[in-house]
Amino acid sequence: MARILIAEDDMFSRKVCFKLIDKMGHTPICSPDGKHAYQTLLSDNSIDLLITDIMMPEMDGRTLIKTLRGNSSFMKLPLIIMSAVVSIAEIDDLIKLGADFFLPKPIDSKHLTEYVERCLKFNSNSNSLAVENHM
């Protein structure tokens, strides 16, 4: 199954996401912030998907997305954003930066499962992921 990196500083959200990913049969890997997530990605090229919060210490999710999309090694890595405090305009901006999906917090297990499956279904060379937002 897939290896999924979860970048989330909130312990509760991290645990919920971890358990849902594990229940799906995938291997969840946790990072407490964007900087740690980026270093994890640089040292482990077998990550299949990144799920990241926006507001985190060290490196926030927006900076993480910009950094990843600026590196040719990560331009096609599927990205799911999860956040409780962003506006529609901010979601649009995150999608333009390179996120594939947005999930509002608290995390809905049905939507997380659907988005993870959709991200993993598509070939990493495809840009055909549909962007949706369930608010």
Give residue 122's pLDDT.
76
What digits encode the pLDDT tens for the residues 15-27? 999 999 999 999 9
Whole-angstrom Cα distance, residue 68 to residue 73?
Answer: 8
Class of 3-121 per CATH? Answer: alpha beta
Q: Which residues pair with 49 in a beta bridge?
A: 4
pLDDT band of 86, cuts 50, 70, 90: confident
Residue 117, pLDDT score: 94
What is the pLDDT averaged over residues 89-96?
91
- Give buried/exposed letters for 57-90 (b at 16+ CB in 10 A, else e): ebbbbbbbbebbbeeeebeebbbbbbbeebeeee
pLDDT of the residue at 21: 97
The pLDDT, as a whole number, for residue 77 is 94
pLDDT at 132 (0 to 100): 46
For 50, the token pair is 């990144």
What count of other Cβ atoms lies within 10 Å of the Cβ of residue 39? Answer: 14
Q: Structure pTM?
A: 0.88
Confidence of residue 128 (pLDDT cuts 50, 70, 90): very low
Tens of pLDDT along 28-85?
Answer: 999 999 999 999 999 988 999 999 999 999 999 999 999 999 999 998 999 999 998 7
Pull the structure tokens for residue 135: 């608010």
User: What's the average model confidence in pLDDT over 90-98?
Assistant: 91
The ranges assigned to domains in the chain are 3-121
Contact between residue 1 and residue 27 where contact means Cβ atoms under 8 Å apart: yes
Residue 88: which region, alpha, beta or left (left: phi > 0; alpha: psi -120 to 50)? alpha
